[in-house]
Amino acid sequence: MFRLAHLTDPHVGPLPRPRLRQLLSKRATGYANWRRGRRHSHDMDVLAALVADLRLQEVDHVACTGDLCNIGLPSEWETSRIFLEALGSPEAVSFVPGNHDAYVRGSLEGLLSACGDWATGDSLVQTAFPYLRRRGAIALVGLSSAIPTKPFVATGRLGSPQIAAAESLLASLAADPEPPCRIVMIHHPPHPGGARPGRELIDAAPFTAMIGRVGAEMILHGHTHLGSVAFMDGPGGRAIPIVGAPSASAGVRAPYHRASYRLYTIGRTADGFTIDASERGLVEEGGIGERGAINLVRP
């Protein structure tokens, strides 16, 4: 059995006060939004409690699907690294970036210069996404949908080269004499309709078509700050679960928005894998606790 934890969108704070010249960009609207409301939505005490609880679960690996940053300030890159170090070593934690990590041109490159050890494949050379990490019977495939966008737009894009590389990688894993459980990590919901216009993955359709050809066992994402389960058709019409998690720092009480992380117990069977999913996070009584099982079977 392999135990995998998934958390996303921590939006690590507090956000340092930017210099005036750093606000001569999309950061101006982002900083205003942070001051008006977002800083109250993301509770660092909740995030700390969530991480502390996660570390008690004795998981084998942690997947973090983006948005460590808020407005992509250079001062946020070291804070992001400290957060990842709190989750675990680079060998035990896999990270893929989100749109806030690529808030303006140069932000993503700066973040990866500080945190690239957590976003690097087994080759230990960060050249481009996708990357591959093999952990026993598990294969983690990390994709980047993070691109800089205009104000009030939060779309993502993989691009044809990355989709083609992911297809080749997933196909080669499926052809392995003992195929691993292929888990794809991406920030944006990767299926058409997964996010509203202006926040969607622009090339969700070609990504979905690619998965239909080569398959995967599960896809993990963030971005919407909602707990969700959807499905994508793989080869032969097999249903592939697409699981989204809320923001790991969300202090709100709405059931599907409350901060949580997901736990997966993965086991090999004669004809594939079993994946049992559950959720831990903020509970109505206060504190961090068990939120129940998650159904990964298409109704």
The pLDDT of residue 34 is above 70: no
Q: How many domains does the chain have?
A: 1
- pLDDT computed for residue 252 by the predictor: 73
Residue found by looking up tokens 């993955």 in the block? 201
Residue 270, pLDDT score: 86
3-state secondary structure at position 116: helix
Structural domain contains residue 106: yes
CB 57 within 8 A of CB 263: yes
Name the 3-class secondary structure at 61. strand
CATH of the domain at 72: 3.60.21.10
pLDDT of 18 reads: 60
Q: Which residues contact 173 (CB under 8 A, 6 or more apart)?
A: 132, 139, 141, 179, 180, 182
Q: Is residue 272 part of a domain?
A: yes
Query: Could you give the 3-state DSSP secondary structure of residue 13?
Result: coil
Q: Is the pLDDT of residue 266 over 80?
A: yes
Nearest to 218 by CA among 243, 190, 245: 243
pLDDT-derived band of residue 286, with 50, 70 and 90 as boundaries?
confident
Give the chain's mean pLDDT. Answer: 91
Beta bridge partners of 182: 139
Flag whether 105 is in a domain.
yes
**pLDDT-above-90 percentage for the chain:** 79
**Rounded distance, CA 182 to CA 220, Å?**
11
Is residue 126 in a domain?
Answer: yes
Range of the domain at 123: 2-294
pLDDT, one tens digit per residue, over 123-146 is 765 557 999 999 999 999 999 999
With respect to residue 288, please indicate whether it lies within any of the assigned structural domains: yes
Summarize the confidence of residues 29-38 as an average pLDDT: 66
Q: Is residue 299 part of a domain?
A: no
Nearest to 115 by CA among 94, 137, 140, 92: 94
> Is residue 229 in a domain?
yes
**7 belongs to a structural domain:** yes
Whole-model pTM: value is 0.94
d(C-alpha 268, C-alpha 250), whole Å: 34
